[in-house]
Amino acid sequence: MRPYRWPPVTRPRPTPELLASLRAGKEALHAAQRELPLREKVRQLLELQKIDFAIRTSRGDHLESWQKPWDIEP
């Protein structure tokens, strides 16, 4: 007996208006990020490293000592 296969999901193509809106939002986000002070950029980077570390260790990934985030505050 062959296993049941779900039919493929088909989605409509995004409209040009939606794509333009997404690009404008991305551009605005990047512009705001460029204006942040260096201290805030480093703080965000450290926070993202901690999140990544938690995800990877919960999956059981073996990390080298240099791949673990530093326990510092900017």
Q: Which of 49, 73, 74 is nearest to 63 (CA)?
A: 49
Task: Map out the domains of the chain as residue ranges.
Answer: 37-74
Interatomic CA distance for residues 17 and 29, integer angstroms: 18
User: Model confidence over 27-65: pLDDT tens digits?
Assistant: 999 999 999 999 999 999 999 999 999 999 999 998 898
- The pLDDT tens digits for 4-29 are 888 888 889 999 999 999 999 999 99
C-beta separation of 69 from 53 below 8 A: yes
Query: In the chain, which residue ranges form alpha helices assigned H by DSSP?
Result: 16-34, 38-58
pTM higher than 0.85: no
